[in-house]
Structure 1
Amino acid sequence: MAGETIITDVAIIGAGPTGLFAAFECGMLKLSSILIDALADIGGQCTALYPEKPIYDIPALPAVEGARLIENLAEQIEPFNIPRLLGRRVETLEGHRGGFTLGTGKGDIIHARAVIIAAGAGAFGPNRPPLEGLEAYEATGGVQYYVRRRADFADKTLVIAGGGDSALDWALSLREVARKIYLVHRRDKFRAAPESLRQLEEAVAKGEIEKITPYQLKSLKGEEGRLSGVELATLDGESRVLDADHLLAFFGLATDLGPVAQWGMDQIRSTIPVTPSSCETSLPGVFAIGDVATYPGKLKLILQGFSEAAMAVHAIYPIVNPEQALHFEYSTSKGVPDTK
């Protein structure tokens, strides 16, 4: 229900992995919190972009799919009964350290002592190729920018365009289910992890993937939005048409901080500088964690976002409890606080 009024200790903007873990840390310190996200589901990019893509650098999990990681984080915060405002974008922020008021586009009002921005890269959308009639093919699924279910591409002929990690990762992953995969890039060199490059060359040698370089997308072939082929061209004017059931275009994401950019915080290229030891922004009482935060030595890894969440929440504790010292305890000693 929209138009709610909520009073809480910490308002967490963004319900991706770092936002979810920040909510857990709040619960462990007996701080109340609320999760707010513009998307209809929790999980951020893990849910929206790569729910079935394995993640390999989460401690103690040799491999975990994006969706499963979010399920685990949601299970972790269950004991704290943390409310969620999903499908809402925070439009306004007013007040000061210890007393903020946030407003959403659906009329919700949130009163919070501190704010954590865990908005990832902000609002995001794909960089779309400039092809005639693109919208019609997007509407039918002939052209897509994300892979949410690998099973959707079973026994299909795919043209995957792009030269970065996403293009290579999905080419390598989908070769197990697709009938045929063409990997198209405008240069002979790809910008990806060394292990992905090694696996690609191995897959090409085995005939599992056909690498086509240096070609660019020129046009789409089909009728009434039903894709049947993709025309490619070189800078020298050579052209080639590939049969295709789907075009998967991975040219990166266009990101936008949205209203957050108008809240008076320092910014550097759509990121928010923070104090490394606390993750506090230039606006006292407002903290930023995850991909949206930047500082010297920053690594854009989920595991670093988890660490930032813990530091931010511990820095928030004295804002909420100014007269009460926080005695640090390990979870093995104190367990999960009783929420009853």
Structure 2
Amino acid sequence: MDNEIFDIAIIGAGPAGLFAQFYAGLRELKTALIEATPRIGGQITALYPEKTILDVAGFLGISGRDLVNELKLQTDLVDSKTFLNSEVTNLKKIASHFEIEINHHASFLAKSVIIASGNGSFSPRKIDVPGSSEAEQSGMLTYLLPGLSEVADKDFAVVGGGNTAVDYAVELIDHDCHVSLIHRRDNFRAMESSVTKLKNSRRTNFLTPMKITGLSPKKEKLEIELQSVPDGAVKRVSVDRLIGGFGFTASSRTINQWEEFPEQFNQGFLTNEAQMTSIAGIFAIGDASSYPGKSDLIATAFGEAPTAINQAVNYFDPDRGGPQHSTSLNKKEVFKHDRIKSRYNS
């Protein structure tokens, strides 16, 4: 890795980073994709592999795991390098290049950098009531969906009122589970179509407006003590498992220590219409990018990736120009791949 010079270094192998790697390959750029964890897929792989994703054009619905697999098949079509277990511990400018330090040791140079690291590492917002520690130790309280092939006809409770909780509940009823959705308010801050689906399902029981006040593991069931928010009345329900759906907190402690640290906005780096940050040559896409009016969707990230790649080329090689449309790109090698031939040449 040392002494190599790449055209573009992409930091983060979530959906945005993977698609950026593929598009950079179509433009025949020497590209490095750098991922701190042992696996590609980012937040989807870590937190939502079973979730059905609805905001990807061309798919009526696709699981997080399948989406990552499809993106991986795309990146396999192009010539680039992927480095796993490689945390970027420093980023600094050296003359006309950026030096990227990996794991406080190895380093290489890049002409431009695209940050696609999302919001950093994640940890769940946990339930803090009497018995919650014991419930978590017993496995009856979790913060991620279980393997959905083994949950049919089980009784679940999900607590929370945002997209995380509602998405969990939808996935569970789609796999023939019974779900009690607990929320301290009657209204939910989630995708309207998902809430409507839950309301129309006979497998959903709404426990609102209520809050959890205690948890008691009892043999194979978890007893949940609930308190009505308006009048304080107490109710108890028993389920096979409770899933906390309060979302996750993000940490970017390592990124915050970089020598080249772009200006932040909300929870990402402020980017302009070229996806460039406040530091020339450093771009950001996906959840790592933020600007007024942005929608934090995978679909948005897929649109930002080609913009960042093309603008990065304009930055380090302004005379190169090049195609803006995929139909203008060199697909000679790509279309040699058997999978592509079978799909498009039949």
TM-score by length of 2: 0.87
Structure 1 position 91 matched with structure 2 position 89: yes
Aligned partners of 1:128 and 1:251 also within 8 Å: yes
Using the TM superposition, give the Cα deviation of residue 19 of structure 1 relative to its aligned residue in structure 2, in angstroms: 0.3
- What does residue range 203-282 of structure 1 map to in structure 2 within 5 Å? 203=201, 206=202, 208-222=203-217, 228-235=222-229, 236-262=231-257, 263-276=260-273, 278-282=274-278
- What does residue range 62-211 of structure 1 map to in structure 2 within 5 Å? 62-96=60-94, 98-105=96-103, 107-147=105-145, 149-203=147-201, 206=202, 208-211=203-206
**Counterparts of 1:51 and 1:292 in 2: how far apart (Å)?**
20
Q: Which runs of 4+ in 1 moved over 4 A?
A: 337-340
Using the TM superposition, give the Cα deviation of residue 136 of structure 1 relative to its aligned residue in structure 2, in angstroms: 4.4
Structure 1 unaligned runs (5+)? none
Amino acid at match of 2:314: P
Using the TM superposition, give the Cα deviation of residue 151 of structure 1 relative to its aligned residue in structure 2, in angstroms: 2.0
**Counterparts of 1:135 and 1:320 in 2: how far apart (Å)?**
53
Judged with a 3 Å threshold, the aligned counterparts in structure 2 of structure 1 residues 228 and 312 are, in CA distance, closer, same or farther, namely: same
**Larger CA deviation: 131-140 vs 251-260:** 131-140
Using the TM superposition, give the Cα deviation of residue 223 of structure 1 relative to its aligned residue in structure 2, in angstroms: 6.2
Matched residue count? 331
Q: Per the alignment, in what secondary structure is the counterpart of residue 79 of structure 1? A: coil
**Larger CA deviation: 46-55 vs 157-166:** 46-55
Identity of paired residues, percent? 33
Structure 2 unaligned runs (5+)? 337-346
Judged with a 3 Å threshold, the aligned counterparts in structure 2 of structure 1 residues 177 and 329 are, in CA distance, closer, same or farther, namely: closer
**Counterparts of 2:269 and 2:322 in 1: how far apart (Å)?**
30
Using the TM superposition, give the Cα deviation of residue 72 of structure 1 relative to its aligned residue in structure 2, in angstroms: 1.2
2:286 aligned residue: 290
TM-score by length of 1: 0.88
Amino acid at match of 1:155: D
Amino acid at match of 1:258: R
2:343 aligned residue: none
Q: Per the alignment, in what secondary structure is the counterpart of residue 199 of structure 1? A: helix
**Counterparts of 1:130 and 1:106 in 2: how far apart (Å)?**
36
Using the TM superposition, give the Cα deviation of residue 176 of structure 1 relative to its aligned residue in structure 2, in angstroms: 4.0
**Counterparts of 2:29 and 2:176 in 1: how far apart (Å)?**
48
Structure 1 position 303 matched with structure 2 position 307: no
Aligned partners of 1:98 and 1:285 also within 8 Å: no
Q: CA RMSD in A?
A: 2.4
**Counterparts of 2:133 and 2:36 in 1: how far apart (Å)?**
24
Amino acid at match of 1:57: D
**Counterparts of 1:216 and 1:303 in 2: how far apart (Å)?**
34
**Counterparts of 1:178 and 1:238 in 2: how far apart (Å)?**
31
1:166-191 alpha-carbon deviations (Å, 9 max, x no partner): 22232233124455321111111111
Q: Per the alignment, in what secondary structure is the counterpart of residue 175 of structure 1? A: helix
1:226-249 alpha-carbon deviations (Å, 9 max, x no partner): 762222223443222211221111
**Counterparts of 1:104 and 1:135 in 2: how far apart (Å)?**
36
**Counterparts of 1:133 and 1:87 in 2: how far apart (Å)?**
36
Aligned partners of 2:265 and 2:291 also within 8 Å: no
